[in-house]
């Protein structure tokens, strides 16, 4: 893995951290600001993917494969979340014909 | 990378690109001729001798036709759909090893655009992206037939992708690498993978048919039910893109099948031929062999199309989920056990 | 000996994408320019076998398609786990094989369950 | 490990039982399976466990204790489920299976020894709960609860993961021992990103345990979800969340406590006040329980704020006390709701006359939740206060005391409704299963209240 | 024979009473209460009046926190145990004329409460003390809230919240002290040796003081009391005023001052001032009361104010006076509430202005009432006299002006009590009171015993003072030693 490590390390680690943080923040902002359940959901996925990116970068910098294995787990569990989440969203849509989370205020906050 | 290398890569890319376009064009011609042959007709015979210029005429027509974007369609996505379809079809060829490296002077030119260590995953990724083209196009049309076609296409593609992935896993257990270049090298001579993975190949080819939306799995564009399926609303070059993408996909999947299972550019006695023909023409002969295999597959695609009737949708899904996936898993288990026992 | 991939190996792929993109854009542009334009209202309505268009096409569709999509996501991701295993199959040996077979077995149990449950029946 | 295997295999068996229409066998099989898991867990006790599977899991006494309490609580809740799911839908086996899957996640959460397993455990648990929250498919509240829980849960997972990643980035490992070694060895030059990671993990975990200011999903989800599921969420799940929280912080971050304690202090105080004061204004019993569960999260956070050798014990006792008391409350709620059709306090009016037994166990449960002596809840609060005081967090305890006083108002509302508000009402039918669960829980509450050595001092 | 039998018998009795029918439950309860009294008397007979703890039980309870089930009786406790065990049967007997619905629960709760009270009075372990403290609270809450008057729900929850709030602060204090003990024990004597500095002791003082002041109740923490007394059923009021508020006073003697002597020294003045204010304030309000039960309630605040002032003055006489006055006040106030219970049960009113001339129609009743009133106003040769005398002496030795003000209470008390007696009993009968029937046998028994006790203690107070003297002297000296040490 030597040469690959060298190449990836040509980019400073801070850049990866910064990039991931930015992507993560975009995801957070998406969750907080958007009203469409699907879009919120996609924002969450964005957050998870920024984590994946950062994990991979750390993993390569550290020369430790466990970070990349973690990425696998994140992907698998994100998939499980997708499955359940989509099912829930479809269920909501069938009951209300909308996926705007503003209609979801029958239970008061 | 030196400038010369880049130039060579660009050259290779453009050559491969043009070849795939030409092959796609002439596949349409071949399809018609073969259909005619099966149906005891003549087929295209007006444009040029034996109608050989027919694809040119078709192409010109595509350019000259009126471009219609329906009023209710989502304009941007309506254009993106076909563009994506053809783009994904075109970039798949990047990792296919077309032949052994050609040595001119002291410069070694690999006949492969790039040999990355996740080649197979790259192909899968590109193929998966292909469904977006269909899906976006069908959805953007805002036409009921298109939408239904698009959904069918999506649903069918993803269903068969699982069994495709599973069938590849058995192959990977044999090869131990994801690089297509390496897989091709391993099949030197007659050590073709199909000998070790006959079931895997069978599964793969079925899935390849489904992935390219070819008959008997062409439900997304099934004329009798859906008019034109996802491309009902398309005209002019955008329609052309969809049709083109289908043929390019067919070409690429044939190439992948040939590389993965049928030895790629390898053929029995290639060492002898290589010595005989020298460092330039030896590899190029391998490339020629590869193309022969590809053409055979393309012919097979067409043969099937004009022989076997279309599946019903439930049959299609049943085949994909209830037959292919268990078979693929069984294949993995079998391969695993055999390899472990033989070791 | 494992093949090494450098970022530079991916450069040709970007080249190829650029070539494809160029091709698409040029062709689109050219057809757009040279094709005739005679727009009429009827021409722009969605094709519906010649009868009046009723409603929007984007209505809810059968839940079966969602089900297939969700199942795909699940199974495809599980398949991902097998790739690293398959590539390193010979190194992992018998233990690795048994472990993965347990995994496959679990997967298969779930698979049989959904089939029995009728999740994949298209009636 | 056997425990975990049994609990993972059991739901698969149940799913297949459901396929072959063996509806009658579901509950017995579940209970027998859980009993087997319980036995194997108890046998692990004091076995001087080492991390297994490359340091992924560690089944020490801490995890055994929490596994046992989770399994027992689940068994009690499942006993209440007889006939409950049948009314909702015909896919009964699935519900049992999902609850058990969730329990499997919980077992992982209380016995992880690697952040990977923490994440996996939390996700297995949460994903199952997302489904469970929405099992009343046509009930809008249930739908909404599911979606809210799902979005918030996934959101918080993002924070948790980012935190884990940053910690991995600076410590170079997911292993708890390795992280602790890292913190202990280089206390002077820990990366700032490590600290940010700790903060993000706090955010993520606070989301999961429903601590303010990340609590806002809790009341809605608890109210919207079916009562039985709410019971599961507010007892077993919360216990597991705190066990996981505690395990991580006591194993890894104890030496940098100065850094995160102020943050958690603020969270604790906020949680206590928000939970208690909003609970005061509720007209709905279930919603009141939801807010009270937030405030109990605040008390449980004491153990982490005042992290010490006794913390695990305090969390264990408190969580056990809270769980059994909540099980009584939810069990009674299910019965009352079946009769009156509403979750409001009015539904309890005059219950003491028609159902003295039911009223009595509810009283015990409320007293325990309020922390009155001779009930388990008092012992829990006592341990928490002792822990906090031993770290000289006197002001925190004073605030907690003020909150305990506030909580009297809403817990006693139920008692007042049952005993002092006269209303002619029919007798609520209490099935034998319920009688057993309610009686058992009430007895356990009192026994632990009188003789806590029974369960305390174990860990 | 250890004190545990005294603590567990009432619990057992409470459970057994639940098994009886509602009609016979009161007999069973009375039986058990008398049996408890018998045990207490047995303990008394073997009691050696020195400063030691006797009949001690000491079992490990929650060992990881150093909590032991540790209880014993010394002179101070003995008096309190006597108070409890004498009054509970009397109270049960006083309810014979009532028919409570669900009576077995009622009596079970009374017995359960007795267990809590006895635990408080004998506990030598901080944790046990707290548990007993709360265990006594829950039953009385239910007694008042289930069998009380119109406003019971609001009033009793107020009562509960007040006392619970106070006791939680005490819990904090107890835990805090525990953490300071050298041996990490909840043991009382360990607490005495905790060795905190004055600043910390002042915090501990407040933590305990709040709980006790609310319970006693001391001005300004008394606002729950008149309402609760008025709304509670007669037996509940008797329990509250006769025994329960002594928990607070006992707590001050045993737990507050010795645990935080230096803290106490800082706040002694304030405590006495509050007590004195309480005396004046309650007396003034008592003047204006039209409701007899309320009047007694306020007079009780005044008396308690005097007791606490005597204790806070912290001299042997003061504390001894408090001991005997607790017993006397318990007896008197129970008698007083019983009188009012009898009146309100017969005439359905407690308005003093509506009554009059009862003495004519009910001579026995009037004699008993008179004796109780005289006891309450502390006439010599009644029980009240000895106590108030000693208390005033104690306060006097602390500060003459406080003593003077506190002394007023005797005069005030005499005035409003005698005026009440005059208005109720003397004069002409009116329509309402003409039909007043004289007391029945069971009532006679209760009032008779009370009168005997009033006169008996009044004539021979040494019997009681003797019991507690040694313990009080030891306690006061040890605390004063602490004061002395702190000077240097």
ipTM associated with this complex: 0.83
pLDDT of D125 reads 92
Tokens of D85: 């799911």
Q: Do E120 and E136 touch, CB atoms closer than 8 A? A: yes
| pLDDT(D426) > 90 | no
Closest Cα in chain E to D413: E157
Q: Write out chain B residues lying below 8 Å of C94, CB-based.
A: 340
Contact A75 C60 (CB under 8 A): no
Query: What phi, psi does E52 have (nearest 5°)?
Result: -85, 165
Strands (E), chain B: 99-104, 107-111
Q: Which of B184-193, B225-234, D59-68 shows the lowest mean pLDDT across its residues? A: B225-234
Do chains D and E touch, with touching meaning 3 or more CB–CB pairs less than 8 Å apart? yes
| Domains, in order of start, for chain C | 7-36+60-117 (1.20.58.1610)
Q: Where are the domains of chain A?
A: 2-103
Q: Which of E130, E157, E175 sits opposite D386 (nearest CB)?
A: E175
Residue B189's alpha-carbon distances to B46, B170, B171, B197, E171, in angstroms, are 43, 21, 18, 17, 88
- CA–CA dist A55, A49 (Å, integer): 10
Domain-located, residue B44: no
Q: Do D240 and D248 touch, CB atoms closer than 8 A? A: no
- CA–CA dist D249, D266 (Å, integer): 17
Test mutation, C108, C116, C119, chain D, max D CBs within 10 A: C116
E311 CB-side CA count, 13 A = 33
pLDDT tens figures, D281-322: 888 888 888 888 999 999 998 888 888 878 888 899 999 999
Contacts of D245 (CB under 8 A, 6+ apart): D205, D209, D304
Q: Do D274 and D215 touch, CB atoms closer than 8 A? A: yes
Contact B79 C28 (CB under 8 A): yes
| pLDDT(D365) > 90 | yes
Q: Write out chain C residues lying below 8 Å of A3, CB-based.
A: 4, 6
- CA–CA dist C116, E1 (Å, integer): 72
pLDDT of A103 reads 64
pLDDT tens figures, E257-301: 888 888 888 888 888 888 888 888 888 888 888 888 888 888 888
Contact A79 C73 (CB under 8 A): yes
Architecture of domain A2-103: Orthogonal Bundle (1.10)
pLDDT tens figures, E368-421: 888 998 888 888 888 888 888 888 888 888 888 888 888 877 787 888 888 888
- CA–CA dist E14, B246 (Å, integer): 88
Owning domain of residue E14: 4-487
Q: Kindly state the average pLDDT of the residues A81-100.
A: 83
- Confirm or reject contact between D224 and chain A (CB < 8 A): yes
pLDDT of E342 reads 87
Q: What share of chain B has pLDDT > 70, as a percent?
A: 97
The shortest C-alpha distance from D456 to chain E (Å) reads: 8
pLDDT of E93 reads 86
Domain-located, residue B335: yes
- CA–CA dist D282, D295 (Å, integer): 14
pLDDT of A1 reads 42
pLDDT of B248 reads 87
pLDDT tens figures, C20-32: 888 888 888 888 7
- Helix or strand holding residue E60 (H, E): strand E54-62
pLDDT of E153 reads 83
Tokens of D217: 């999903």
| pLDDT(A107) > 60 | no
Q: Give the count of beta carbons closer than 10 Å to the beta carbon of residue B56.
A: 13
Read off the pLDDT band of D391 (50, 70, 90): confident
A6 CB-side CA count, 13 A = 6
pLDDT of A108 reads 47
Query: Looking at the 3D structure of chain B, how many domains does it have?
Result: 1
Q: Which of D123, D161, D216 sits opposite A109 (nearest CB)?
A: D216
Q: Kindly state the average pLDDT of the residues B97-123.
A: 79
Contact D19 C109 (CB under 8 A): no
| DSSP-based three-state secondary structure for B115 | coil
- CA–CA dist D98, D331 (Å, integer): 20
Closest Cα in chain C to A1: C4
Q: Write out chain C residues lying below 8 Å of A72, CB-based.
A: 80-81, 84
- CA–CA dist D438, D444 (Å, integer): 10
Read off the pLDDT band of B119 (50, 70, 90): confident
Q: Kindly provide the b/e burial profile for residues E214-245, where b requires at least 16 CB atoms within 10 angstroms of the residue's own CB.
A: bbbbbbebbebbbbbbbbbbbbbbbbbbbbbb
pLDDT of D200 reads 92
- Confirm or reject contact between C113 and chain D (CB < 8 A): yes
- CA–CA dist D156, D202 (Å, integer): 10
Q: Do D123 and D241 touch, CB atoms closer than 8 A? A: no
Find residues 8-47 of chain B whose CB sits inside 8 Å of chain C: 9-10, 13-14, 17
Tokens of D310: 């006794």
Stronger pLDDT, E9 or A94, i.e. the higher one:
E9
- Confirm or reject contact between A10 and chain C (CB < 8 A): no
Residue B268's alpha-carbon distances to B193, B287, D273, in angstroms, are 14, 14, 81
Tokens of D41: 């867990």
Q: If you average pLDDT over every residue of chain C, what do you get?
A: 79
The shortest C-alpha distance from C99 to chain B (Å) reads: 12
pLDDT of C1 reads 37
Domain-located, residue B209: yes
Mean pLDDT by 10 residues, chain E (488 residues): 85 88 86 91 88 86 84 89 90 84 87 91 90 89 84 85 88 88 84 81 88 86 84 86 88 88 87 88 85 86 87 88 90 89 84 82 86 87 87 87 81 85 82 79 88 90 87 87 73
pLDDT tens figures, B161-185: 888 888 888 888 888 888 888 888 8
The one-character DSSP state at C35 is S
Closest Cα in chain D to C116: D19
Q: Kindly state the average pLDDT of the residues B85-102.
A: 83
Mean pLDDT by 10 residues, chain C (123 residues): 60 83 85 77 68 68 80 84 85 84 89 84 72
pLDDT of A5 reads 58
- CA–CA dist E367, E335 (Å, integer): 12
Contact C60 A94 (CB under 8 A): yes
pLDDT of A9 reads 62
Contact C117 D19 (CB under 8 A): yes
- Helix or strand holding residue D100 (H, E): helix D92-110
Q: Which of B1-5, B170-174, D18-22, D325-329 shows the lowest mean pLDDT across its residues? A: B1-5
pLDDT of B228 reads 67
pLDDT tens figures, B250-278: 888 888 888 888 888 888 877 787 788 87
Domain-located, residue B33: no
Tell how many helices (H) and how many strands (E) occur in chain B.
Answer: 13, 2
Q: Kindly state the average pLDDT of the residues B62-87.
A: 80
The shortest C-alpha distance from D13 to chain C (Å) reads: 10
Contact D19 C116 (CB under 8 A): yes
Q: Which residue has the tokens 């039982």?
A: D17
Residue C82's alpha-carbon distances to B174, B181, C107, D240, in angstroms, are 14, 21, 12, 31
Closest CA to E156 of E145, E148, E167, E146: E145
Q: If you average pLDDT over every residue of chain D, what do you get?
A: 87
pLDDT tens figures, D150-208: 888 888 999 999 999 999 988 888 888 888 888 888 877 788 888 899 999 999 999 88
Q: Which of E62, E145, E152 sits opposite D456 (nearest CB)?
A: E62
Closest Cα in chain D to E136: D373
- Confirm or reject contact between D429 and chain E (CB < 8 A): no
Owning domain of residue B277: 66-342
């Amino acid at each position: 893995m030597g040469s690959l490590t060298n190449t990836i390390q040509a980019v400073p680690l801070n850049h990866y951290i910064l990039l991931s943080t930015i992507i993560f923040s975009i995801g957070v902002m998406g969750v907080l600001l958007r009203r469409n359940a699907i879009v919120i959901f996609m924002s969450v996925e964005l957050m998870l993917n920024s984590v994946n990116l950062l994990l991979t970068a750390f993993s390569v910098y550290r020369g430790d494969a466990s970070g990349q294995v973690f990425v696998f787990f994140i992907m698998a569990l994100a998939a499980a979340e997708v499955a359940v989440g989509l099912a829930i969203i479809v269920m909501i849509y069938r009951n209300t014909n909308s996926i705007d989370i503003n209609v979801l205020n029958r239970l008061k906050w | 990378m030196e400038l010369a290398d880049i130039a060579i890569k660009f050259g290779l890319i453009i050559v491969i690109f043009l070849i795939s376009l030409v092959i796609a064009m002439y596949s349409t011609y071949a399809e018609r001729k073969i259909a005619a042959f099966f149906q005891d007709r003549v087929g295209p015979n007006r444009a040029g001798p034996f109608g050989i210029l027919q694809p040119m005429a078709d192409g010109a027509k595509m350019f000259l036709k009126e471009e219609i974007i329906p009023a209710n369609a989502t304009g941007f996505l309506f254009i993106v759909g076909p563009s994506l379809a053809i783009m994904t079809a075109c970039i798949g060829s990047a990792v296919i090893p077309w032949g052994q490296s050609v040595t001119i002077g002291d410069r070694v030119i690999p006949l492969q655009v790039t040999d990355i260590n996740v080649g197979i995953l790259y192909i899968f990724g590109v193929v998966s992206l292909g469904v977006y083209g269909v899906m976006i196009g069908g959805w953007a049309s805002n036409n009921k037939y298109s939408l239904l076609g698009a959904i069918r296409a999506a649903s069918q593609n993803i269903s068969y992708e699982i069994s495709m992935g599973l069938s590849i896993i058995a192959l990977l257990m044999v090869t131990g690498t994801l690089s297509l270049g390496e897989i091709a090298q391993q099949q030197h001579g007659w050590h073709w993978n199909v000998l070790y993975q006959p079931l895997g190949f069978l599964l793969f080819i079925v899935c390849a048919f489904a992935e390219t939306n070819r008959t008997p799995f062409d439900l997304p564009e099934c004329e009798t039910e859906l008019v034109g399926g996802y491309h009902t609303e398309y005209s002019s070059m955008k329609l052309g893109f969809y049709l083109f993408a289908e043929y390019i996909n067919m070409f690429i999947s044939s190439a992948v099948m040939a590389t993965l299972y049928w030895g790629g550019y390898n053929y029995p006695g290639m060492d002898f031929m290589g010595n005989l023909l020298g460092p330039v023409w030896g590899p190029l002969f391998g490339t020629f062999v590869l193309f022969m295999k590809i053409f055979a597959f393309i012919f097979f695609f067409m043969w099937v199309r004009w022989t076997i009737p279309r599946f019903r949708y439930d049959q299609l899904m049943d085949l994909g989920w209830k037959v292919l996936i268990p078979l693929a898993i069984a294949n993995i288990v079998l391969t695993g056990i055999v390899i472990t026992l033989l070791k | 000996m494992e093949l090494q991939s450098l970022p530079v190996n991916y450069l040709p792929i970007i080249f190829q994408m650029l070539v494809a993109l160029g091709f698409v854009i040029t062709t689109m542009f050219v057809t757009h320019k040279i094709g005739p334009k005679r727009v009429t209202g009827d021409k722009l309505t969605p094709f519906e076998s010649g009868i009046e268009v009723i409603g929007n096409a984007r209505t809810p569709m059968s839940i079966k398609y969602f089900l297939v999509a969700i199942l795909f996501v699940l199974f495809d991701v599980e398949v991902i786990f097998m790739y690293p295993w398959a590539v390193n199959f010979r190194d992992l040996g018998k233990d690795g094989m048994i472990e993965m077979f347990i995994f496959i077995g679990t997967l298969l149990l779930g698979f049989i369950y959904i089939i029995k449950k009728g999740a994949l029946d298209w009636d | 490990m056997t425990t975990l295997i049994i609990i993972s295999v059991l739901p698969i068996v149940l799913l297949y039982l459901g396929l072959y229409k063996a509806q009658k066998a579901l509950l017995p099989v579940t209970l027998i399976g859980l009993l087997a898991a319980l036995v194997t867990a108890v046998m692990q006790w004091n076995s001087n466990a080492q991390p297994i599977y490359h340091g992924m899991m560690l089944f020490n006494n801490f995890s055994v204790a929490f596994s046992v309490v989770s399994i027992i609580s689940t068994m009690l809740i499942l006993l209440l489920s007889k006939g409950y799911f049948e009314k909702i839908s015909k896919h009964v086996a699935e519900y049992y299976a999902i609850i058990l899957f969730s329990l499997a996640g919980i077992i992982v959460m209380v016995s992880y020894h690697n952040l990977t397993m923490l994440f996996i455990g939390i996700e297995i648990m949460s994903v199952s709960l997302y489904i469970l929250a929405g099992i009343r498919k046509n009930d809008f509240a249930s739908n909404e609860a599911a979606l809210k829980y799902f979005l918030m849960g996934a959101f918080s997972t993002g924070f948790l993961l980012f935190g884990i990643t940053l910690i991995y980035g600076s410590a170079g490992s997911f292993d708890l021992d390795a992280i602790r070694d890292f913190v202990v060895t280089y206390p002077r030059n820990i990366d700032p990103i490590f600290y940010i990671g700790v903060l993000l993990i706090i955010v993520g975990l606070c989301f999961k345990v429903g601590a303010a200011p990340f609590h806002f999903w809790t009341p809605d989800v608890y109210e919207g979800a079916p009562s039985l599921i709410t019971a599961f969420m507010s007892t077993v799940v919360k216990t597991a969340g705190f066990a996981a929280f505690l395990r991580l912080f006591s194993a890894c971050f104890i030496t940098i406590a100065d850094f995160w304690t102020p943050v958690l202090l603020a969270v604790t105080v906020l949680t206590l006040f928000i939970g208690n004061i909003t609970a005061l204004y509720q007209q709905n019993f279930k919603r009141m329980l939801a807010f009270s569960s937030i405030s109990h999260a605040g008390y449980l956070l004491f153990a982490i704020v005042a992290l010490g050798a006794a913390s695990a014990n305090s969390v264990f006792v408190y969580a056990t006390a809270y769980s059994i008391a909540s099980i009584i409350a939810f069990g009674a709620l299910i019965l009352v709701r079946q009769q009156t059709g509403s979750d409001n306090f009015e539904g309890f009016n005059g219950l003491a006359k028609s159902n003295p037994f039911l009223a009595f166990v509810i009283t015990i449960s409320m007293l325990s939740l309020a922390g009155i002596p001779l009930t388990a809840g008092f012992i829990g609060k006592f341990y928490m206060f002792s822990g906090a005081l031993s770290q000289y967090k006197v002001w925190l305890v004073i605030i907690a005391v003020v909150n305990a006083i506030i909580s009297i108002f809403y817990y006693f509302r139920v008692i007042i409704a049952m005993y002092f508000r006269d209303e002619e009402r029919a007798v609520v039918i209490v099935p034998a299963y319920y009688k057993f669960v309610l009686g058992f829980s009430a007895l356990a509450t009192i026994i632990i209240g009188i003789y806590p050595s029974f369960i305390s001092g174990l860990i | 024979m250890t004190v545990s039998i005294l603590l567990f018998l009432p619990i057992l009795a409470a459970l057994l009473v639940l098994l009886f029918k509602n009609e016979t439950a009161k007999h069973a309860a009375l039986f058990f209460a008398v049996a408890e009294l018998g045990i207490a008397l047995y303990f008394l007979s073997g009691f050696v009046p020195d400063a030691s703890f006797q009949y001690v039980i000491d079992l490990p309870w929650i060992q990881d926190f150093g909590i032991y089930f540790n209880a014993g009786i010394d002179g101070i406790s003995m008096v309190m145990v006597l108070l409890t065990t004498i009054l509970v049967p009397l109270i049960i007997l006083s309810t014979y004329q009532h028919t409570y619905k669900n009576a077995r629960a009622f009596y079970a709760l009374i017995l359960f409460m007795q267990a809590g009270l006895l635990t408080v009075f004998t506990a030598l372990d901080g944790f046990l003390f707290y548990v007993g403290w709360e265990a006594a609270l829950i039953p009385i809450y239910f007694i008042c809230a289930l069998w009380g008057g119109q406003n019971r729900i609001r009033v009793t929850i107020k009562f509960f919240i007040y006392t619970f709030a106070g006791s939680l602060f005490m819990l904090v204090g107890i835990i805090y002290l525990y953490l300071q003990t050298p041996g990490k024990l909840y043991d009382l004597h360990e607490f005495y040796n905790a060795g905190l500095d004055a600043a910390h002791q002042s915090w501990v003082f407040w933590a305990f003081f709040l709980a006790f002041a609310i319970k006693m109740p001391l001005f300004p923490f008394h606002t729950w009391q008149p309402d609760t007394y008025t709304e509670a059923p007669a037996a509940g009021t008797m329990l509250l005023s006769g025994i329960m508020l002594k928990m607070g006073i006992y707590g001050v003697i045993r737990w507050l001052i010795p645990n935080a002597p230096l803290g106490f020294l800082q706040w002694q003045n304030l405590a006495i001032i509050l007590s004195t204010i309480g005396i004046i304030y309650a007396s003034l309000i008592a003047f204006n009361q039209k409701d007899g039960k309320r009047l007694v309630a306020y007079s009780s605040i005044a008396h308690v104010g005097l007791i606490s002032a005597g204790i806070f003055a912290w001299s042997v006489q003061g504390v001894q006076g408090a001991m005997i006055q607790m017993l006397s006040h318990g007896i008197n106030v129970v008698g007083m509430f019983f009188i009012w219970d009898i009146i309100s049960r017969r005439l359905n009113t407690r308005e003093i202005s509506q009554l009059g001339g009862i003495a004519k129609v009910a001579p026995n009743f009037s004699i008993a009432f008179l004796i109780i009133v005289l006891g309450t106003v502390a006439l010599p040769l009644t029980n009240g006299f000895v106590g108030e005398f000693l208390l005033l002496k104690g306060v006097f030795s602390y500060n003459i002006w406080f003593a003077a003000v506190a002394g007023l209470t005797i005069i005030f008390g005499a005035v409003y009590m005698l005026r009440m007696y005059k208005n109720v009993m003397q004069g002409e009968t009116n329509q309402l009171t003409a039909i007043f029937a004289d007391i029945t046998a069971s009532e006679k028994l209760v009032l008779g015993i009370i009168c005997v006790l009033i006169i008996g203690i009044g004539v021979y107070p040494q019997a009681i003072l003797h019991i507690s003297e040694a313990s009080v002297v030891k306690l006061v000296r040890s605390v004063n030693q602490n004061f002395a040490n702190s000077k240097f």
